[in-house]
């Protein structure tokens, strides 16, 4: 063998990474995730709308200036992490791909396109093979609900899911989080507060998720996303899913009450055993102390908390389990999942 053929292959150069929507709630978490996980990049470029251009954000001790997003922003970019809404993604993601970047998009713009992978790395990293430049990050409610279910589904197929979500203000962005803070302060001080971001008063209230309701089915867009995205990510178009999505006055971290029905009988102990060492999941299941997943505990954690695991006593066949999960919407529900996709790439 010649010296040339025995030499190790040269390492690929560290990529140039761009964040689109860098000043938003998810954008800030993307920056933090890249730093905390020591993502191997050679340069980080931050983009946002014209009104945010000129702001500075810290990354690895350096102040980076946010630039205005334009059609020429992606020259030299290898990976572009988008979190600026569907309309921005539809306009700029194809431009980024044409400039040579791989796009990981956090909006709903491309999720259900047949040729766009919809990926949760703990579930279907193989879907990244053969991507055409755009990879979709799933809906936050779907990620948090189904990541803990995958270890179960792999060994005892889940035939039916009934989900009730308790979704935090973070799911509607930084403005909604601020509206929750301000409206709560006004409520406690006995002042009137005119809500602007969400359609109903938020302090000490909860309401159906603020997306359009389909008059034909009665389900809102969020509930439809959870159903269709679960089927695509699991690669199982026959799984039956019914969701009720509710906005609750919690700053960050979504929670979900889940009842799952498997093909064969399954016990709570079997479920605990499957989840105990599952990637991206942490068991919080202590009936003696009445300690189960809470958004307060999930906030700031990478792992999705799972507990309240019990037999669904309404199913005489023993095939159904009820459980409760909480996960940080800004992390595993958005930024962390996107960075994990980039790491797999």
Domains of the chain: 3-109 (3.40.50.720), 143-329 (3.30.360.10)
In which band, very low, low, confident or very high, does the pLDDT at 10 lie, cut at 50, 70 and 90? Answer: low
Q: Please tell me the predicted confidence (pLDDT) of residue 210.
A: 87
Distance of alpha carbon 182 from alpha carbon 176, whole angstroms: 10
Q: What is the pTM of this model?
A: 0.92
Is pLDDT of 6 > 70? Answer: no
Is pLDDT of 189 > 60? Answer: yes
Is pLDDT of 19 > 60? Answer: yes
In which band, very low, low, confident or very high, does the pLDDT at 311 lie, cut at 50, 70 and 90? Answer: very high
Lookup: tokens for 283:
């068991």
- The answer for residues whose C-beta is within 8 angstroms of residue 106's C-beta and 6 or more apart is 21, 26, 81, 82, 83, 137, 334, 335, 338
Q: Which of 140, 153, 245, 262 is catalytic?
A: 140
Lookup: tokens for 250:
């919690």
Angle of helix 25-36 versus helix 336-344 axis, rounded to 10: 50
Q: Please tell me the predicted confidence (pLDDT) of residue 3.
A: 44
Percentage, residues of the chain above pLDDT 90: 94
Distance of alpha carbon 178 from alpha carbon 85, whole angstroms: 19
- Span 197-206, average pLDDT: 96
Contact 95, 74 (CB under 8 A): yes
Question: What is the largest distance, in Å, between two alpha-carbon atoms of the chain?
Answer: 82
Query: Per-residue pLDDT tens for 225-234?
Result: 999 999 999 9
Is pLDDT of 127 > 50? Answer: yes
Is pLDDT of 111 > 90? Answer: yes
In which band, very low, low, confident or very high, does the pLDDT at 45 lie, cut at 50, 70 and 90? Answer: very high
**Can 254 be counted among the known catalytic residues?**
yes
Query: Per-residue pLDDT tens for 166-180?
Result: 999 999 988 999 999
Lookup: tokens for 253:
């971290």
Contact 121, 342 (CB under 8 A): no
- Span 270-294, average pLDDT: 97
Q: Which of 209, 245, 254, 262 is catalytic?
A: 254
Distance of alpha carbon 142 from alpha carbon 187, whole angstroms: 32
Distance of alpha carbon 321 from alpha carbon 271, whole angstroms: 8
Question: Alpha carbon 255 to chain centroid distance?
Answer: 13
Lookup: tokens for 48:
């946002």
| Residue 334 CB neighbour total at 10 angstroms | 27
Percentage, residues of the chain above pLDDT 70: 97
Q: Which of 94, 108, 172, 170 is nearest to 137 (CA)?
A: 108
Q: Please tell me the predicted confidence (pLDDT) of residue 11.
A: 63
Q: Measured between alpha carbons, how far apart are the two ends of the chain, in Å?
A: 32
Is pLDDT of 4 > 60? Answer: no
Distance of alpha carbon 25 from alpha carbon 6, whole angstroms: 48
- Span 116-125, average pLDDT: 97
Q: Please tell me the predicted confidence (pLDDT) of residue 12.
A: 72
Q: Please tell me the predicted confidence (pLDDT) of residue 9.
A: 55
Question: Would you list the DSSP string of 231-273?
Answer: HHHHT-TT-EEEEEEEE-S-SS-EEEEEEEEESS---HHHHHH
Q: Which of 148, 167, 138 is nearest to 323 (CA)?
A: 148
In which band, very low, low, confident or very high, does the pLDDT at 13 lie, cut at 50, 70 and 90? Answer: confident
What are the start-end ranges of the H helices in the chain?
3-6, 25-36, 86-98, 140-146, 150-155, 174-189, 221-234, 268-275, 295-298, 336-344
Query: Per-residue pLDDT tens for 49-107?
Result: 999 999 999 999 999 999 999 999 999 999 999 999 999 999 999 999 999 999 999 99
- Span 247-261, average pLDDT: 97
Q: Please tell me the predicted confidence (pLDDT) of residue 7.
A: 53
- For 54-90, b/e burial (b = at least 16 CB within 10 A) is eeebebeeeebebbebeeebbeebbbbbbbbbeebbe
Question: Alpha carbon 269 to chain centroid distance?
Answer: 28
């Amino acid at each position: 063998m010649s010296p040339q053929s025995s030499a190790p292959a040269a390492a690929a150069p560290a990529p140039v990474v761009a964040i689109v929507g860098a000043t938003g709630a998810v954008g800030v978490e993307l920056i933090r995730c890249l730093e905390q996980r020591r993502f191997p990049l050679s340069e980080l470029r931050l983009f946002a709308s014209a009104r945010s251009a000129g702001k500075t954000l810290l990354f690895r001790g350096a102040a980076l200036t946010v630039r205005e997003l334009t059609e020429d922003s992606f020259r030299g970019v290898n990976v572009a992490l988008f979190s600026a809404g569907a309309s921005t993604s539809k306009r700029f993601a194809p431009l980024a791909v044409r400039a040579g970047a791989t796009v990981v998009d956090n909006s709903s713009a491309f999720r259900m396109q047949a040729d766009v992978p919809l990926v949760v790395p703990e579930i279907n990293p193989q879907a990244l093979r053969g991507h055409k430049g755009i990879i979709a990050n799933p809906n936050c409610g779907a990620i948090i609900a189904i990541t803990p279910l995958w270890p179960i589904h792999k060994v005892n197929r889940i035939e039916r899911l009934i989900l009730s979500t308790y979704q935090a203000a973070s799911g509607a962005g930084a403005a909604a989080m601020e509206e929750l803070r301000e409206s709560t302060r006004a409520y406690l001080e006995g002042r009137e507060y005119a809500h602007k971001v969400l359609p109903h008063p938020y302090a000490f209230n909860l309401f159906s998720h603020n997306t359009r309701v389909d008059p034909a089915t009665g389900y809102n867009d969020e509930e439809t996303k959870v159903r269709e995205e679960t089927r695509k990510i699991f690669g199982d178009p026959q799984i039956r899913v019914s969701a009720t999505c509710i906005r609750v006055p919690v700053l960050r971290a979504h929670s979900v009450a889940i009842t799952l029905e498997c093909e064969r009988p399954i016990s709570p102990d079997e479920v605990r055993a499957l989840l105990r060492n599952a990637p991206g999941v942490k068991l919080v299941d202590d009936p003696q102390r009445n300690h189960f997943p809470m958004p307060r505990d999930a906030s700031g954690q990478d792992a999705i908390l799972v507990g309240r695991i019990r037999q669904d006593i309404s199913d005489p066949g023993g095939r159904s389990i009820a459980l409760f999960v909480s996960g940080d919407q800004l992390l595993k529900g958005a930024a962390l999942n996107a960075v994990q996709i980039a790491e797999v790439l």
